Amino acid sequence: MPVIAILGAAFVIGFEQLVEWQYGPLGIAGMLLLSIGVKARNATCSSLGAVVLAVLVAGPALA
């Protein structure tokens, strides 16, 4: 069980670093909103974070 928790934490940290490197401060804000919303079970906060990340990812295709 602890191995699964460690692997999960490593994946999350790696994904957060990738978003930070690729999308900068706005990516960090989106990940923060998404993770806080999921942990607090707040649909508004997690939806805002998901929308911010989706706009960042789809931004070059929309322009």
pLDDT in tens, 20-44: 777 788 888 888 888 888 889 999 9
Residues in the chain: 63
pLDDT at 6 over 70: yes
pTM recorded for the entire structure: 0.68
Identity of residue 35: S
The pLDDT value given to residue 47: 93
Output the six-digit token pair for 33: 């909103």
Taking residues 5-13, report their average pLDDT: 82
Output the six-digit token pair for 47: 């939806």
The pLDDT value given to residue 11: 83
The pLDDT value given to residue 2: 80
The alpha carbon of 49 is separated from its chain's Cα centroid by a whole number of angstroms, namely: 7
